[in-house]
Amino acid sequence: MTDASTKVRRRAARLSVFSNTALVIVKVAAGLMSGSISVLAEGIQSTVDIFASLMIYVSLGVAGRPPDRRHPYGHGKVESLTSAVQMLLILGSTAFILYQAYRRLLHPRMPDVDWGIGAMGVALVVDLAVSSYLQRVARRTDSLALEAEAQHLRSDMYACAGVLLGLVAVRLTGWAPLDPIIAALLALVVIITAIRLMGVSVRPLLDQSLPAEEEAQIRRALDADDRVMGYHKLRTRQAGSQRHVDVHVMLEDSLRLSEGHAIGEEIEQAIRKTLPNLDVVVHVEPYAEEMSHQAIQHGILDPNEKAPRLSEGPRRGQPGQTDTVSD
């Protein structure tokens, strides 16, 4: 990850911190002055947003550090860990909102909706602008943390719209219980969003493979090279915005060591061009020797028969073999 990319991401995170702080002041003040539990719930939710945004800002600085002796794969997983913690904070705050909504349902009170309508209108405009900016930066820099923050602000925007419409309905109908009902519905929507984003954050922590379409691009780069007689043990994972790929590639046995090394470097370079922020390790093996090893040591095929390719799919008319390769 480049220093310029890290600066852009941290600048976006800093904007999120400032905007969330301003919205907390507006929402909490409006909630207290209006007596609306739905507006106050939004203020509490935005208070949690501040802590979450601060965590993301700090984590992006750590995740942007280059690999070192103790962290040879970099620090990208800090982003995923931060996103998961952010979702836990959100789930905790929604539990409090549900409790307050339940209490208000037991003792309904007509709120002064004008303050709430004004606050929700301001929040809608700010959330739309900031979330759109964060989304653009997240896609440009491949940041999971900023993506989670953008999605969170977008869900907050929808929640504000729901509260705004609800306050208008309260004003038109004069039915006080509608206010805590809206707050409860808001909490449920936030819970669903948080659980979904939690899954996105946890997958990189478990070293899950890259998406199928991204692995397909890597395989196409391998299949496009006529010098590659086969490949196996293709492994992929992602840590923050950094993708990691390693693969065993089989070349002609008669190649000199220096020639095989040079081809391996060229293959790595070709794979790097397929996806952004890609770290690639190619292990070069002699084709016939590897096939013999698989036959003798692992009994995958009869060494007296013509050896099939050990690619992860058949190619150029030769028989293929999938997921049968050992060491």
Residue ranges, CATH 1.20.1510.10, the chain: 3-205
Of 286, 6, 16, nearest to 131 by C-alpha is: 16
> Residue 41 has what pLDDT?
78
> Residue 63 has what pLDDT?
63
Instruction: Select 212-298's CATH number: 3.30.70.1350, 3.30.750.24, 1.10.10.10, 3.60.90.10.
Output: 3.30.70.1350
Residue ranges, CATH 3.30.70.1350, the chain: 212-298
DSSP, residue by residue, 25-90: HHHHHHHHHHT-HHHHHHHHHHHHHHHHHHHHHHHHHHHTSPP-SS-TT-STHHHHHHHHHHHHHH
> Residue 272 has what pLDDT?
93
> Residue 284 has what pLDDT?
94
Owner of token pair 């994972």: 237
Low-confidence ranges of the chain (pLDDT < 70): 1-3, 48-49, 51-64, 71-77, 79-80, 83, 197, 200-201, 204-207, 240-241, 298-327
Quote the radius of gyration of the chain (alpha carbons, Å).
27
**Domain spanning 3-205, CATH architecture:** Up-down Bundle (1.20)
> Residue 51 has what pLDDT?
67
